[in-house]
Structure formats: C-alpha cells, structure tokens
Amino acid sequence: AQSVSQHNHHVILSEAASLELGCNYSYGGTVNLFWYVQYPGQHLQLLLKYFSGDPLVKGIKGFEAEFIKSKFSFNLRKPSVQWSDTAEYFCAVNAGNYGQNFVFGPGTRLSVLP
Amino acid sequence: NAGVTQTPKFQVLKTGQSMTLQCAQDMNHEYMSWYRQDPGMGLRLIHYSVGAGITDQGEVPNGYNVSRSTTEDFPLRLLSAAPSQTSVYFCASSPGQVDTQYFGPGTRLTVL
C-alpha cells in the first residue's frame, strides 16, 4: 500500500524566515500530488497540486512545491513566512482509483512567531 | 454555491448510541469521501463513493456505514459509538477520480 511521510511534526519559525516542508511518498507509478492547508478551526483547503508538466508548481499565498520523481518527493516551500501562515499542512498523493489510492500524510504543524 | 456542508458541527454521544453525520454538496460532484482526523495521524479514509448507489470501504471502515442515494448527499452512520471513534470527521467531494477534493467544515465527535 502506498504511504506518505512528512518529515517534521512541528516547525516553529519567525516571520520572514524561509520555509521548506518535506513530503515523501512510496508509490512507483504515476501520481498526482497535493498540498492542503488547515488554518486553526477551519477545514482543509487546497494550496497547490501537481498532475504533470513543470515539476515546480506555484500555489496560493506565495507557496510553491517541487516534484522530484527520482526522490519520490514533493516538498513545499515559501521564501518568507507570515504569522498568518500558522496552520497545519498536509501532503497528499493520489495514484488513481479514487478513494483507494488517495492517501494523506500525517501533517506538519507550522507555528510562525510574530 | 455552499460547497460541502456538514451537520452537526459538534456532537457528544454515549458509548453504544448511534447517530448519522450529514454531508451534502451542491457542486454536482460524483466522488465523495468521509475521513477522520486524529492527532498525528493525518486524515484516514473511512468510506467513499464514486457515484449515486456506489460505495466502498476505505482504510478504517469498521463501525461505520454509508449510503449514497443521491449525488448530493453522503451520510455517515455510526452504528454503536465507541470512545475510539472520538475524532473530527470530514466529508469531501471531488469532480474527478484524481482531482482536487473539496472539504466540508468538519464534525467534532466525542464519545463518552
């Protein structure tokens, strides 16, 4: 069965610091990759997604992610974080066959200090 | 569009009670799912549906039932609540098999 791992459970940064959150998955075939964000008390929202093409994808609020197929990774980055980025971030992988192969990582909690 | 709606927002049950969590979407999405979110475990798929009349089990289906009589609605039934079912439940819908999922606001369930 495929799985998704996220490197950090909790990341604490000061405002304006750069952010990189790691995501690795285990699946040898074609995958579609997602990053979702959950702000405190809110539901999950899509940050960005990769289906094909340019492996560097840009999302909302200045986030971007790079798909590196050889490393089975899809790391999330932001050059300068803001206090409002405090949230939990989930990486997700879909290998087709809706439901059966849509797997979320355990999440990384990001705390940005003002 | 309201998107994906869930009711109730909060619920407290006693062990052994049953209840139904409601989920509805107005985007005409064929695909719908139920997840539970527990600390440190991300979201785990309970049941999903690829269209009206079609449902299937996810990763953690035990203790839950679903049905999909219409495209819009996808209720989740807890048959006999247990403390291990204390969690936050999210419903999601998607326009396509490998497309973005849109999430509801969640139901926080506590089983005493």
CA distances from A42 to B43, B62, B77, B90 (A): 14, 27, 23, 11
Q: Which pLDDT does position B98 carry in this prediction?
A: 77
Interval A97-106: pLDDT, tens: 666 668 899 9
Are A99 and B58 in contact (CB < 8 Å)? yes
DSSP chain A: --EEEES-SEEEEETT--EEE-EEEE-SS--EEEEEEE-TTS--EEEEEE-SS-SEEE-GGG-EEEEEGGGTEEEEEESS--GGG-EEEEEEEE-SSTTTTEEE---EEEEEE-
Look at residue A96 and tell me whether its pLDDT is greater than 80: no
Average pLDDT over residues A43-71: 94
Look at residue B108 and tell me whether its pLDDT is greater than 70: yes
Q: CB–CB of B30/B48 below 8 Å?
A: no
Are A104 and B42 in contact (CB < 8 Å)? yes
In B18-112, the DSSP E strands lie at 19-25, 31-38, 42-51, 54-57, 64-66, 76-78, 87-94, 102-103, 107-111
Across chain A, mean pLDDT equals 91
Task: Report d(CA B24, CA B3) in Å as an integer.
Answer: 8
Interface of B with A in 47-86 (CB under 8 A): 48-50, 56, 58
Q: Which pLDDT does position A98 carry in this prediction?
A: 60
Which residues of B are less than 8 Å from A32 in CB distance?
98
Interval A1-32: pLDDT, tens: 678 999 889 999 999 999 999 999 988 788 89
Interval B9-66: pLDDT, tens: 999 999 999 999 999 999 999 999 999 999 878 899 999 999 999 999 988 999 999 9
